[in-house]
Structure 1
């Protein structure tokens, strides 16, 4: 599939300008999207979920981490897809997270409908999307322009503890991860802060390059109006896509 003439015909010396003009979002749009997402984050932090299916009586959110393009600063213009990783008090091991993953997704989905602030933003729950791991997807709208924002929530075990180490992880973390087994990439959200920080604190030049890579991928694999719905077949982790042969949109490139 040929790339768009704009990118294909741009010489290397003008790629920085191409990114600034066509790919990098303006601050007003980005802030409006993040303002809507903050409503979701506030709901998660303030809510206490009633345990079910063998979980504790009360499940609390320990931390909410914005990952993906919005988390690391490589979001493309008009790509209003935000992924949140939620660390929960009920997960004390990788095995517990794997065992109760879908129970937690059901609990969060049920509670979404009790939040009036989200209902005011036109909440539309899409349901649980199959992936590595599965996630809960829904749509809300920005306050001023009513632009749809697709939000996904991924529950995770807080393997790194309260603070993310600036140096190497303790070897015991890897030992627990290996013993847990699981499909490749399933426990990747537990390490999302390391993934995010790896890109977030890199020079602007690298972030511009990552935007170009994502733009190229979308042009090559999702041309025109036939692009599949953003959250279907979304995540690529550990070299695996959601399903063989299924194209992966921008939000799933972990860039």
Structure 2
């Protein structure tokens, strides 16, 4: 060693960790079960500044569409209102990338069928004015219109992003028949049964079951509006896991919304456990339901039930379909589970591989059990659905062996 050099002082600790921007993200698999809530808080909550800017830009976009679409046209169809859904606010958005819905409601339509007939013209009109707006206004965040590769697309997309914050939300824009607003006697808590009678009749006649669920987007938002913040965080965790699966498997998977509804189901059917591992235990239970997807039958009767007769007959047919069945709480014609059994099988295998990871172990390294559903009656496999009681909420899963 050069005598003129200064000797190193090994008595002082040296920080050799990489810069913040280069640090490896915390791995959910290895996160201790008792730190799951901290993982959500540190890794999954979105940037509040970004969301504030997004809200401001969305307000501008919504007002612009309402003011400009079809102004001066000979017909009387105009934008009545614009409603947001999905992961676009502080309650549901994820850090990084989220997806949301923008539903543009049009007045003076009289049926769901007219929504189909006008869809192409609606989308052209919306896209034209979004492009105009892009040229006319400065946005708080980056505004990009996505060009659809499908000529008969039912929607168009735009993205609001902040490269500096590494945050983005992609919006799926869809035009819709304003059926809830059309019914003056309906409300966000109890639409008239006639709405669902009309929906079922038109969906079955047009063979477009499940295609009009966007018309009930406000009810979908209301379904989660007053839920516990802990449930919303659990939904964030499940969405994060779903994104990890999409990145790994690179194949079509069941809709993310199906997993969100599974999360609500688990939350409603477990105690208000505040133990430090409660979130991990519920998460593991959700994965177990994914593994046993072939036996799932879940539905709610918040907005529709077994009256009148036409709705009752249809709902009974729905719940006798091949599993999995997870009905949209706001639209009985939509089986959110979909028909992609190959996708469910892929997701189930991935869920099963997760069941024994470190994130589901107690401090003594023993594996935590899933939540106990024994206090909630579950019919036997191959049995007929249970009788429908007067409860405000009914969920009927088929039995899951080993639970």
Normalised by the length of structure 1, the TM-score is 0.75
TM alignment of 1:7-156, pairs within 5 A: 7-49=28-70, 57-70=75-88, 73-115=91-133, 120-121=138-139, 123-128=143-148, 134-140=154-160, 149-156=169-176
CA separation of 1:244/1:200 partners in 2, compared to 1, >3 Å: closer, same or farther? same
Q: Does structure 2 retain, via aligned residues, the 8 Å contact 1:50–1:59?
A: no
Distance 2:127 2:247 in 1: 29
Is the aligned partner of 1:180 residue 2:205?
Answer: no
Aligned residue in 1 for 2:235: 210
CA separation of 1:205/1:145 partners in 2, compared to 1, >3 Å: closer, same or farther? closer
Distance 2:161 2:29 in 1: 34
CA separation of 1:129/1:156 partners in 2, compared to 1, >3 Å: closer, same or farther? farther
- Per-residue deviation, 1:90: 4.1
TM alignment of 1:202-241, pairs within 5 A: 202-223=227-248, 238-239=335-336
Distance 2:163 2:39 in 1: 30
| Structure 2 gaps, min length 5 | 1-24, 259-333, 345-403
- Per-residue deviation, 1:118: 5.7
- Per-residue deviation, 1:168: 2.7
Normalised by the length of structure 2, the TM-score is 0.50
Q: Deviations over 1:129-188 (max 9, x none)?
A: 76x982111235569979765332111111112676243321101110011124232100
Distance 1:213 1:145 in 2: 23
Task: Single out whichever of 179-188 and 160-169 deviates more from structure 2.
Answer: 160-169
Distance 1:208 1:141 in 2: 22
Q: How many residues align?
A: 235
Aligned residue in 1 for 2:192: 170
Aligned residue in 2 for 1:251: none
| Structure 1 gaps, min length 5 | 248-255
CA separation of 1:33/1:144 partners in 2, compared to 1, >3 Å: closer, same or farther? farther
- Per-residue deviation, 1:26: 2.8
Alpha-carbon RMSD across the aligned residues, in angstroms, is 3.7
Q: Deviations over 1:107-146 (max 9, x none)?
A: 111222222566544654323476x982111235569979
CA separation of 1:141/1:38 partners in 2, compared to 1, >3 Å: closer, same or farther? farther
User: Relative contact order: is structure 1 or structure 2 higher (C-alpha 8 Å, sep ≥ 6)?
Assistant: 1
- Per-residue deviation, 1:22: 0.5
- Per-residue deviation, 1:11: 3.4
User: Looking at CA atoms only, which structure, 1 or 2, has the larger radius of gyration?
Assistant: 2
SS for the counterpart of 1:115 is helix
Is the aligned partner of 1:201 residue 2:223?
Answer: no
TM alignment of 1:239-250, pairs within 5 A: 239=336
